Structure 1
Amino acid sequence: MDREQEEMQFLGLFGVFIEGYKIIISCRKIFSQITLALILPLSFIYLAHIEVSHTLFSKILHTENQLDNTRAGTTKYNKLTDHVSSEWTTYWLFKFAYFTFLLIFSLLSTAAVVYTIACVYTAREFTFKKVMSVVPKVWKRLMVTFLCTFIAFFGYNIVAILAFVLWAVTISNTTIGVVLFFVGLALYVVGFVYLTIVWHLASVVSVLEDIYGFKAMVKSKELIKGKMWVAIAVFFMLNFFLVVIQRLFEVYVVHGESLGMLRRTVFGIICLLLLFKLILFGLVIQTVLYFVCKSYHHESIDKSALSDHLEVYLGEYEPLKAKDVQLEPFHV
């Protein structure tokens, strides 16, 4: 990173984006290798899931439509019933496999990118082989943080569902009830976005500090104060482009039969290229945002201490101790 840490606190939305772009350009080789090994498969899995899910669900709808037009109790009806049950089983097994591989490659990609940027920040020599040797050890910490975040999201949604049920059985048919519904919906979206931002930053904390899980989420919550609007803007901009890419893929590939196989393939490749670039950029940005938040709260990171803990003898990974991160506050 070209900037001193005390200067990073002044970075806004575009400053964070520019800093992330500079890091990617300055380390094109290592990020290209990480992309080919982890982010490209992640992007392919994401887009392939959309296509395969559409195909499987279309078959289910077709079978159920046949079932509706067949007299119950007949041999054909029984065969169609068994067939649709088999198709639903295939659909949910595919969904399970998709989310499993998506999670694995997401966490591995996060570990690789965050570790690489930390090496850039400390000016430490690194290679793709060294990064990949560290990734499995960091991945375990990220998995714990993800599971804790999942629990938090699960609890949050349970509370939201209970509130909705209470609303539905009490004031749903009143004017004030309609107003409260939209207010509650807005609050739910705000809370969901907030939890997502906390999770993303907690992932970086889990890699660079000696805490993970719920403690990393609490640390992330503290760090994000003061830079909330920048984090929210980053979240919406990245997700806006993700939605655009997904929509293009759905229109021109999934539902683009009239375009012909060649054009659909070309559009699919374009969407794949755009998606893996977006994912890489997003991972870099969330790491830059971590350093920005640390700087904003005047929590100096000793580069030599961070470097010593990133890689030790035989490439063994050792998480950064809190005392090395929480040094004496610096003053501007």
Structure 2
Amino acid sequence: MDLSPEEFQFLRVPDILKESISIPKKSPKTFSLVTLTLIFPLSLVILAQSLFADTILARLYQLIEMPTRTGSQAMLYKLLVLQFCYIIFLFTFSLLSTAAVTFTVASLYTSKPVSFSSTLAAIPIVFRRLFMTFIWVSLFMIIYNMVFLGFLLLLAIVENVVLSMFAIIVVLLLFPFVHAYVNAFWHLASVVSVLEPVYGFAAMKKSYALLKGMTLMSFVLVLSYLAFCGVLNLVFGWIVVHGGESHAVLTRIIVGGLVVGGMVILNLVGLLVQSVFYYVCKSYHHQGIDKHALYDHLGGYLGEYVPLKSSIQMENLEA
């Protein structure tokens, strides 16, 4: 992270990827340990979705075949517990990985001493801030999905079939872009929660402001990540999960290892990209980051002295 605040505004998608990939070279030991302890489990959890989907379908089929009500209720209970644990593990490791990578990248940017121990020491406080932001974003996403499903339901009951089908197709075509925007909004709010003295709704407000004028670039970055993630999940499901009869055990093991490795790299690069993208957005809006203020802000996570007023927050959020 040798770029000045002004130079970030000239970065485009290929430049952001190049800059992101170069960051781990500045502290390979720290990023290796973060990847092994946090991003690797996160990647396994994401790929486990294929296994969970198989389990869910098999259990649902068994529920239909169950002759007794008691057996069906027990199977349904196990299914709900399984899904609940999956969601908890997914979002926990996602927040932990975000906290660790964002803090480490910012430390390198401010020339603050970087180590795996300092990153671990900062995670508890950073995690609490990220969790509050996640709760607010989750409420927003629940409302957004309810409105989306309600709109589809309304279109489905319209008597004019042709108009209804046309409207549904248009909505479904727009959904990937809306979904990409919501993801960019969420991830940028997460970075804001770590690097600025705001979190929760204030971080969401700041994220919305930073995304103005950067929507197209955020679409490209998020949709690219989701596309690669989808391909890896498809390969994992097709060969590793469902390939018992058509593929040898050794082939499934090799492909599974390659897919897991690819998912780990993809998630690491994705987390690095969202940190760099934050600096690009700040530079685009001419909100230069005071490295000294950011240095002090990061030190606050480690119990170091933090001045009462920080110039990292460049504009009044109450405006």
TM-score (norm 2): 0.91
Return closer, same or farther for 1:313/1:20 CA change in 2, 3 Å cut-off.
Answer: closer
Partner SS for 1:3 = coil
Q: 2:37 corresponds to which residue?
A: 37
Q: 2:288 corresponds to which residue?
A: 300
CA deviation map 1:93-146 (0-9, x unaligned): 111001001111110100000000000100111210010010111011111111
Return closer, same or farther for 1:170/1:216 CA change in 2, 3 Å cut-off.
Answer: same
Tell me the distance in 1 between the aligned counterparts of 2:266 and 2:301: 34
CA deviation map 1:78-105 (0-9, x unaligned): 3xx4334322221211110010011111
Shift of 1:212: 1.1
Q: 1:281 corresponds to which residue?
A: 269
Aligned residue runs from structure 1 range 150-165, under 5 A: 150-165=138-153
Partner SS for 2:266 = helix
> Which residue, out of 151, 167, 171, partners 1:184?
171
Shift of 1:317: 9.1
Verify the 8 A CA contact 2:290 2:311 in the aligned structure 1.
no
**How many percent identity over aligned positions?**
37
Q: Report whether the alignment pairs 1:209 with 2:204.
A: no
Q: How many residues align?
A: 314
Return closer, same or farther for 1:276/1:148 CA change in 2, 3 Å cut-off.
Answer: same
Q: Report whether the alignment pairs 1:111 with 2:99.
A: yes
Verify the 8 A CA contact 1:208 1:319 in the aligned structure 2.
no
Q: Report whether the alignment pairs 1:13 with 2:10.
A: no
Verify the 8 A CA contact 1:238 1:282 in the aligned structure 2.
yes
Q: 1:58 corresponds to which residue?
A: 58
Return closer, same or farther for 1:321/1:23 CA change in 2, 3 Å cut-off.
Answer: farther
Tell me the distance in 1 between the aligned counterparts of 2:307 and 2:49: 35
CA deviation map 1:211-262 (0-9, x unaligned): 1112111111111122221111111111111011101100111101022333
Partner SS for 2:157 = helix
Q: Report whether the alignment pairs 1:309 with 2:297.
A: yes
Q: Report whether the alignment pairs 1:234 with 2:225.
A: no
Instruction: Work out which of the two has the higher radius of gyration on C-alpha atoms and give 1 or 2.
Output: 1
Shift of 1:183: 2.2
Tell me the distance in 2 between the aligned counterparts of 1:23 and 1:215: 29
Tell me the distance in 2 between the aligned counterparts of 1:294 and 1:181: 37
Matched letter for residue 198 of structure 2: I
Verify the 8 A CA contact 2:122 2:301 in the aligned structure 1.
no
Shift of 1:8: 0.8
Verify the 8 A CA contact 1:60 1:84 in the aligned structure 2.
no
Tell me the distance in 1 between the aligned counterparts of 2:248 and 2:305: 50
- Comparing 197-206 and 256-265, the one that deviates more: 256-265
Tell me the distance in 1 between the aligned counterparts of 2:175 and 2:310: 33
RMSD: 2.2
Return closer, same or farther for 1:38/1:313 CA change in 2, 3 Å cut-off.
Answer: closer
Tell me the distance in 2 between the aligned counterparts of 1:275 and 1:34: 15
Tell me the distance in 2 between the aligned counterparts of 1:262 and 1:92: 33
Partner SS for 1:9 = helix
Aligned residue runs from structure 1 range 162-177, under 5 A: 162-173=150-161, 175-177=162-164
Matched letter for residue 106 of structure 2: A
Q: 1:140 corresponds to which residue?
A: 128
Shift of 1:167: 1.8
Tell me the distance in 2 between the aligned counterparts of 1:314 and 1:12: 34
List runs of 5+ in structure 2 lacking aligned partners: none
Q: 2:22 corresponds to which residue?
A: 22
Return closer, same or farther for 1:59/1:198 CA change in 2, 3 Å cut-off.
Answer: closer
Q: Report whether the alignment pairs 1:87 with 2:69.
A: no
Verify the 8 A CA contact 1:57 1:91 in the aligned structure 2.
no
> Which residue, out of 217, 221, 229, partners 2:208?
221
Q: Report whether the alignment pairs 1:129 with 2:110.
A: no
Shift of 1:304: 1.2
Return closer, same or farther for 1:164/1:17 CA change in 2, 3 Å cut-off.
Answer: same
Partner SS for 2:2 = coil
